[in-house]
Amino acid sequence: MTQTDRLLPVNEAIDRLEAQIRSDQQDGTLVDPLIVGIHTGGVWVADALHRALGCQEPLGRLNITFYRDDFNTLGLHPQVSPSDLSVDVDGRDIILVDDVLFTGRTVRAAMNELFDYGRPRRIALAVLYQRDGRELPICADWAGQELTLGPDEQIHVDGPDPMTARLVTSKES
């Protein structure tokens, strides 16, 4: 059963996310941040944030296929586009962007990959939706919406144009 009413629409969630980041930026906690999206949904969100925040440097894209910890059980995921980080990450502040934060494993893989490019000064995490079910000690710095979902519920984000999100039960998916 779909419960779209519990989920904020994507554009509203992005607006909230952007507002939080802006206010922190004014505090001076983030210096000239580099925005990096996690393939594929995270890249869409990052792209929206990148435009909204008016960042000068190109958007970074991470494809974490080679860093996933489920290779032994699921094998190699079909690969569409490789990672693309054209800016040096050494000593930089990075906003890592994903669509949904669930177990935290994707974010762990993304951080591992980021460190293979260099040593950032700080990594902050921005997600559109932060739900329960963490399996690793990872928490978003900013989230467009926080939700508690049932064990068989999942958030599906489609995109990129337009980006939409909906709740599905695992039986549907």
Partner 1 sequence: MAVKFVRPKIPKFAPDPWAIQFDEQGHLRHLLTIEGLGPQWITRILDTAEGFVSVTDREIKKVPLLRGRTVVNLFFESSTRTRTTFELAAKRLSADVLNLNLATSATKKGESLLDTLRNIEAMQADMFVVRHEQSGAAHFIARHVAPHVSVLNAGDGWHSHPTQALLDAFTIRRHKGDFTPLRVAIVGDIRHSRVARSQMHVLNSLNVGELRVIAPRTLLPTDVEKLGVRVFHDMREGLKDVDVIIMLRLQRERMEAGLLPSEEEFYRLYGLTEEKLAWAKPDAMVMHPGPANRGVEIESSVADGPQSVILEQVSNGIGVRMAVMSLCMSANRGDNT
Q: Which parts of this chain interact with partner 1 (CB under 8 A)? A: 63, 65-67, 71-76, 78-84, 112-113, 115-118
Quote the least distance from Cβ 68 to partner 1, whole Å.
8
Nearer to partner 1, 9 or 104 (CB): 104
What string of DSSP letters covers the chain? ---GGGSPPHHHHHHHHHHHHHHHHHHT-S-SPEEEEETTHHHHHHHHHHHHHT-SSPPEEE-GGGG-TTHHHH-PPPP-S--B--S--TT-EEEEEEEEESSSHHHHHHHHHHHHH---SEEEEEEEEEES--SSS---SEEEEEE---TTEEEEEE-SSS-EEEEEETTT-
Residue owning tokens 């974010």: 107
Work out how close the CB of 122 gets to partner 1 at its nearest, in angstroms, rounded to a whole number.
19
Nearer to partner 1, 1 or 80 (CB): 80
CB 121 → partner 1: shortest distance, Å?
16
Q: Which is nearer to partner 1, 114 or 165 (CB)?
A: 114
Query: Nearer Cβ to partner 1, position 37 or 144?
Result: 37
Give the nearer residue to partner 1 in terms of CB position, either 20 or 65.
65
| Smallest gap from residue 95 Cβ to partner 1 (A) | 20
